[in-house]
Structures are given as C-alpha cells and as structure tokens.
Structure 1
C-alpha cells in the first residue's frame, strides 16, 4: 500500500470520526443548533484545519513518501510546486517543500471556505422556500455534506488526472472562472427565488417515485398503507446535493489554481466542507449584513481565473503562493469590512413549498 493511500485512508477515518461525533451531538440536542453551539463547532473545525496545516509543514513529505532528492524532484515536477530545492541538502529542501505544501493547503482552504458562503445563501433559500423546520436543518446538512465528500473526491481526482494529461484544461478552467466571476457581479443585486413546484428535482421525484404530501418529522422515507414513499425532506436533501455539485464546478477549479496536488486540493476542500454546516447556523441570521461579499467573491473568482490563464507569465515574474494568499485575504477583508461600514437593510422574502400541490399534480 502506497504512502498516498495510507495518508488518505487515515484522513478519511479522521473526518468520519468528526462527523460521527457531530451527528451524535445533533441527536442529543434534537437537531436544534444554537448560535453558541455553532460558534463553538466552527471554532473547533477551524482549529482542526489549522492543526492539519502544522501537520503538513512538519510531515508533509511523508504524503508522497519523499525520502531522497530524486523523489523530491519528481514530486515537485509532477505537481508543479514552486519550490527551489537546495542541491546536496535534502533536509533543508524537504523543509522548503513542506512549508510550500502547507501554504498551498491554507490558501486552498481559505478560497473554498469563502466560496462556501454563497453556498450557504442558496441553502437558506432552499430551506425557507420548502418550509423545512429548523430542527431538521442539521440532519439534511449532515447527509448533504457526507454526499458532498464523495462527489468532491471523484471530481478532484478526475480533474487532477485530466490536468496532468491535458495541460490546456487549466486555460478552460480559468476562462470559466472569469465568466462565473463576471456573471456573479452582474447578478449581485438579483432577487433570487426558488420555484418549488417547477424545480427540476421536484419534477423528477414526482415522476419516478412515490412522494408523500407532507413532512414526517426528520424522516426521509415513510411507509403509508404499505407503500414506501419519499418525504419532501428527502427532496430537499437531493436539491442540496445538486446545489453542492454546481458549486463544486466553481470551487474545485479555483483550488487547482493554487496547487496541482490532488491530495492537497482534497484536504483543503473537505476541511472547508465539514465547517460549512456550523458556519451555516452561525451566519444564517446575519448573512444579509455582508452586502458587498458577492462583489468580493466575484473579484476572487476573476482573480483566480486570470491567475490560471497567465500562470506561466506569473511564475516567470516570481509570483508565489504567498502572493496569492495575500491577494485573496485582502479581497475578502475589504468586502467584509465595507459591508460592516456601509450596512444596508434588505427585506425578508419567504416562499413556502406546498407538497399538496405536487400530490394533486401526480393525480
């Protein structure tokens, strides 16, 4: 078994333990997550993410089993790490490699965490539109994130294989992110809504499955008169999964602009994802206060897209991962700071989901 497989297996076991602990805590509290609990959980997850950063800068070379100068040179070349090794000094060269690995992980983590904020906004719309009870948010988000981990794993390693074989895909990803960033800026003031009755997943579920006409506590499936039916809560879970899939198309290429090492992309992605649920409960009530955050995220995506397109020129000019981190943090800090300095009140909008409507439509 390779070092990469062992490292990845250990990481996944670690993540599953965290999720299991979180699930048990959610059951004990009846699914209700207070601001205090969300804050503590967010702090805990971020602290774990930072601990992993220190693991990488200390033992990162063990990920790819680097034990010689030849192996170090091979890994740096394969993943295009901006590291200048010191000939005849393996120990110091490994230190430089580990420091860069940790910096790439940290930058990718911040990018993914920032882009998750837009994901949270959409999740709030979904829960509000379908009339999901707050006590069921935790259950939907838990299983949604578990599914997201599986999808991200597939996306990231397939993406890494494609980039390794077709380097021009980086330019495609870059152009896509620029277009996405510009689109996000142009639609920053758009009043987003979810048409619950005509949503593609709602139509799909009603066409191919038996769907119960009302929520049944926190259950995803229910048996009525001997017939097993899908509850509206499971439809909401499917929509959350589909939403994450859409966001992954933006966020994963963005992190590949920071590092080509699929393991670092995966680690940073997963740590950001497991922090998404606690951040949801922490920001759900105050997200509307960050009025300039979408502008910041659009600038962030545009910068990353430009970096992917002009990466060869930037490397020639000495542009390093630390420079990317500084620009990314500055963009986020300015957008958040401006939002707090120049607040704007927004009207609350609610759209309720009527399961009875779909039930009548089927008949």
Structure 2
C-alpha cells in the first residue's frame, strides 16, 4: 500500500495510475463501444464525442484541485487550453495526410485510434526527458522560452503558403524504398500478404493506411516540439504537463471529423496562437526580471482565453458566409486525390 504513495516525477504513484486507468477505459470504450467497426463518424457524433472528452478534461481539473491545489488546477486548465489550441494545425496536417493517401472517412478513425497509442508513448518519453532536463538544469526553461518566442514571431510573420509537401517528404521516400507498399487499400488492414510482382513469392506489404498512420505519428512528434516546451513554460510539474497533453489530444481526435470540414473558418487563429506562444515564452523572462517567483496561474489562464477568444471571433467574422466543405480529405469528391 505504501508503494502507491511513493513519489514518481513529483506526484504520488496512485495519481499517475488513476490517470492512466482513465485513459485505458476511454480507449476501450472508444474502440469497443463508441466506434465499433468501420463506421463513418459524422459531424453530429463528432461534436457529441468532443463535448464528452472536453467535459472529462474539465472535470479532471476539479480532481487536480481536490488532490493537489487550486493553483495546480489553474495551471492544468491553462495547459489544457493551450494544447487544444496548438493542436489545431495538427488537424490541418492530418487532413492533408488522409487526403494524400485517399483514406476514406470510415477508416480514418482506425488510424487515429492506433495513432493515439503512439502519441501517449512518445509524449510520455518527451515529457519525461524534458522534466529530467528542467529538474537538473533549470536554465533549460530559458531555452524553451526563447524557442517559443522565436516560433511565435516566425508564425506571426510567415506567409499563408506553407502547406507541407507530403509527396516529397524525405521520410516517406525512405519508407517507400525500404518497405513493400501496395497502391490500393485493403479494407482497414495496415499490412497484407500478397505475391511479389517480381518473384511471385508471398510477402507482407504495407498498405496506404499504415503509411498514413506513420505520417500522422511523425506529424505529432513535430508539433510536440512546440507544444511540450509551451506547457513546460507554464508549469514544470510533469503530471500536469502529461495529463493536459493527453486529455487535449484525446478530445481533438474526436473533434477532427467536425473540424476538418470547417477548419478554413479559423484561418486567423494562427496569429492568435503566435501571440500566445510569444506570451508564454515571454512570461518566463518577465517573472525572473520582476522577481515574481511564479506568474499567477489565474492571470495566465485569463490572458490565454483572451488571446484565443479574440482569434476565434476575428476568424469567424472575417470568414462569415464561407460554406463548410462537403467532404473530408480522402472521400469521393475531394479535390486532392491520393498520389502513390
């Protein structure tokens, strides 16, 4: 029993086990109850699932308030909102990946479900490594903060034409040279056994669905380079960093099927995200310069909501009247068919 109260990365082990148990239950429900089989997820169902995940994320803030402190709950909420917002660009890239490989909507959930397992593992490793760095070398926080400020200004003044060139992605080219890849989907299978066109021998081939899954995982690693330092700039508590990351990702995966069709309505949100990154990075330096000890969690949360709320309102106002897309990437009628 004493083992459960042993500190692990700053918090009792039972707190970590409780969170991981919740995540496992959610994943089991997701695959076995909410989305059994190859069912297409419509916008209405997507919004209901998203509301469910967001509600759980907010309730977890209450759990942190109860078990840790009100300040920790405020930091968690700030990190949760920041992670959810930063993941918007991730949705855009995932949509492009699915469109490139022509993955039908009924198979997209399967790829995203298995993708979240990889995300949990990869984010856990990155957060554990980051926590160890911050604990042993406090100055690493200043590197994180400077990187966020630089990234924010880069996003703020970057042009609109920055779509990733998936066809010429070096990793995709490397995988296609090293793996046997089919040109066609084989249902929801990630791999399939087929005769080799040259030798006639049966070999295992990767399907476009597996290639899409790999590219989604790589995209998350790239986005984690921004998001993980952003949360460490909010709090150095690994428990809050990890739980806010995972709850934000779980919810966004459900929201993808609604967001992908209306993402163009949030065209100006990237400027709000850029300003938010600059704010998060700058407050690390401001806190030290003014000898504040800690930046007030309530102020940080309020400024975060103000910046993002302004970005959403401006986006919806500027893009009013623009219709939502009728199809998601990978569906019939998509303007960007797959290229194999």
TM-score class, shorter: 0.7 to 0.9
Is contact 1:163-1:169 (8 Å) kept?
yes
What is the distance in 2 between the residues matched to 1:142 and 1:215? 18
Do residues 128 (structure 1) and 103 (structure 2) align?
Answer: no
Pairwise CA distance, 1:317:
8.4
Do residues 148 (structure 1) and 119 (structure 2) align?
Answer: yes
Offset from partner CA, 1:72-105 (integer Å, 9 cap, x none): xxxxxxxxxxxxxxxxxxxxxxxxxx11111111
What is the distance in 2 between the residues matched to 1:203 and 1:354? 13
Offset from partner CA, 1:261-290 (integer Å, 9 cap, x none): 111111111110111111111211111011
Is contact 2:93-2:164 (8 Å) kept?
no
What is the distance in 1 between the residues matched to 2:335 and 2:166? 11
Partner of 1:251: 227
Alignment of 1:180-195 (within 5 A): 180-195=151-166
Alignment of 1:164-243 (within 5 A): 164-196=135-167, 198-225=168-195, 226-243=202-219
What is the distance in 2 between the residues matched to 1:32 and 1:347? 18
Do residues 14 (structure 1) and 19 (structure 2) align?
Answer: no
Alignment of 1:1-363 (within 5 A): 1=3, 2-3=6-7, 4-25=12-33, 27-28=35-36, 30-60=38-68, 98-196=69-167, 198-225=168-195, 226-316=202-292, 319-343=295-319, 345=322, 350-355=335-340
Pairwise CA distance, 1:174:
1.1
Is contact 2:283-2:295 (8 Å) kept?
no
**Count of equivalent residues:** 317
Is contact 2:268-2:311 (8 Å) kept?
yes
Pairwise CA distance, 1:310:
2.9
Q: Could you say which structure has the larger radius of gyration?
A: 1
Cα distance change on mapping 1:11 and 1:305 into 2, 3 Å: same
Structure 2 stretches of 5 or more lacking a match?
Answer: 196-201, 326-333
Offset from partner CA, 1:22-50 (integer Å, 9 cap, x none): 11245436231111111111111111111
Is contact 2:265-2:316 (8 Å) kept?
yes
SS at match of 2:234: coil
What is the distance in 1 between the residues matched to 2:295 and 2:34? 45
Pairwise CA distance, 1:308:
2.4
Cα distance change on mapping 1:302 and 1:224 into 2, 3 Å: same
TM-score normalised by L of structure 1: 0.83
Cα distance change on mapping 1:124 and 1:205 into 2, 3 Å: same
Is contact 1:188-1:295 (8 Å) kept?
no
Query: CA RMSD for the aligned pairs?
Result: 2.0
More relative contact order, 1 or 2 (CA 8 Å, 6+ apart):
2
Is contact 2:262-2:324 (8 Å) kept?
no
Offset from partner CA, 1:208-231 (integer Å, 9 cap, x none): 222122211111000002211111
What is the distance in 1 between the residues matched to 2:98 and 2:290? 43
Partner of 1:89: none
SS at match of 1:227: strand
What is the distance in 2 between the residues matched to 1:318 and 1:162? 19
Offset from partner CA, 1:281-334 (integer Å, 9 cap, x none): 121111101121011111111111112233313552874111111111000000
What is the distance in 2 between the residues matched to 1:9 and 1:246? 28
Pairwise CA distance, 1:232:
1.3
